[in-house]
Structure formats: C-alpha cells, structure tokens
Amino acid sequence: MEIIPVIDLKGGLVVRARMGQRDQYRPIETPLSPTSDPVDVVRGLRSVFAFQTLYVADLDAIERRGDAGPALARLKSAFPGLTLWIDNGLSDVDAACTWFDAGTDHLVLGSEAQADHALVERLKDHSRAILSLDFRGDSFIGAPSLLARREIWPQRIIVMTLARVGSGAGPDLERLAAIRTLAGSRPIYAAGGVRDAEDLAALKRTGVAGVLVASAIHDGHLTDADIAML
C-alpha cells in the first residue's frame, strides 16, 4: 500500500487543510519545516520517509484565482524524481488535453469541479488521469453521472471524504468498501481522516492501493517505522 503525502497550495504557500473549509485554511505550521514554503515542507515530509509521489491541490486554480505554476516549477526543480498528482480544478476537455501535452504530471479530476461526465469519459483511458470521487458527509459532490457510470472511470480512483480531511475522525471504511465494489479491479486510494498507524493497518486490510495523508505526518502520529511496515 502506497502512502502519498498531500500539500494544499494557496498564494504560493502550503496551507493546513481541514474538513474542506477552504476559506479557513491558513499557512501551515509544522515541526517538519521552518516555513510554509512548499520546497521546505516537502523536504520535511521526505525527511520522514522517501515518498515517491506527492499529491498537490492547487487551490488558487480550483477557485479560479490564478494558479500555483511558480511553486510547482520550484518543486519540480528541487525534487526532479518526484511524481506529482495535481488537482487544479480542470473541467474542460481542450484545457485538459493542452495540460497533458505540456508536461508529465498526473491530473486529478475532482468530481466537485465537473458539471458533467464529458471530461472524465474523454480521459478514461489516459494513463495519467485519476478520478477523485468527492464526498461531503453522505452527499456526493459533482455530476451524479460520474458516480453512476463506472464504465467511464479511469484506471485510478481516489475516494475523497472532505469532511474528514484534517479532522482526526478516522477513514470512511464503509464508503471505501462500497466504491471498491463498484470499481472492480481499479486501484482505489483513500483520502481523509487518517489518524495513525492503526488506521493505515485498517485501510490495508480493505485492499486499497494507497492512502493520501497530511496531518498525521505533520503531527508526528505517523513515523517512518509505521510507513515502512506497510
């Protein structure tokens, strides 16, 4: 099971995410880094474990207030071997195709940004496309057809429980099990609520391919030994 750290970028800085309430996000304060600069924060995360993949939420792009282009360029320069999964709120087919042509990063298609299923269906066979099925409480966020038409899902699926992000509430094992049943052989990645090594062990037993984590690493509740045991 792969552990993928997450950073949320806003105004060029890493912010602390909590329960999807983006208006309340503030620059992160973490013992892993002297600043909230993304290069410093990622270096701190990699001091815990040599992660090979990093999930980046470009909040400025998601909220249509610019983008994190300069910060991403600095990350790529500082960590050339790191694979980036980027959620930037893209929902347009032409824009997504242009984005893929311009680089080698992996694109996370957040269901919350999709007004319909057109983009996901277009990219279902793209090797660098990832679908994030976003939930808040019991509600799915996004076009209902994205959840109903599993035949258009790409080969990697994130189950994002926004209300549990940074909450310490624990992962949503029941929802993960339901999506795994729908997804067939597609790898599933859990996001939201991970507190400690016990949660990682519970998620591993469900058969998920990976877990997106942030707060538990920054708060010292997940160590290199915890992650190395997976």
Q: What is the CA radius of gyration of the chain?
A: 16
Return the closest-CA partner of residue 24 out of 133, 138, 137, 167. Answer: 167
- Give whole-number Cα distances, 59 to 114, 118, 145, 199, in Å: 16, 23, 25, 27
Are residues 6 and 166 in contact, defined by beta-carbon separation less than 8 angstroms?
no
Total number of domains in the chain: 1
The CA distance from 211 to 51, in Å, is 12
Q: How much is the pLDDT for 105? A: 97
Q: Which residue has the higher pLDDT, 115 or 169?
A: 115
The CATH number of the domain where 214 resides is what?
3.20.20.70
**Could you tell me whether strands 210-213 and 188-191 are parallel, antiparallel, or unpaired per DSSP bridges?**
parallel
Whose CA is closest to 132, among 107, 103, 163? 107
Domain that residue 113 falls in? 2-228
Which tens digit of pLDDT belongs to each residue from 95-154? 999 999 999 999 999 999 999 999 999 999 999 999 999 998 789 999 999 999 999 999
C-alpha–C-alpha distance, residues 209 and 6, integer Å: 16
Q: What is the pTM of this model?
A: 0.94
pLDDT at residue 160, rounded to an integer: 93
Tokens describing residue 145: 């057809």
In terms of pLDDT, which residue wins out, 75 or 17?
A: 75
Q: Taking the mean position of all CA atoms in its chain, how far away is CA 36?
A: 19
Give CA–CA dist 117/217, Å, rounded: 34
Instruction: Check pLDDT > 70 for residue 156.
Output: yes
pLDDT digits (tens, 9 = 90+) for 54-88: 999 999 999 999 999 999 999 999 999 999 999 99
Q: With contact defined as beta carbons under 8 Å apart, do 172 and 165 qualify?
A: no
List the single range of 14-18, 39-43, 150-154 with lowest mean pLDDT.
Answer: 14-18
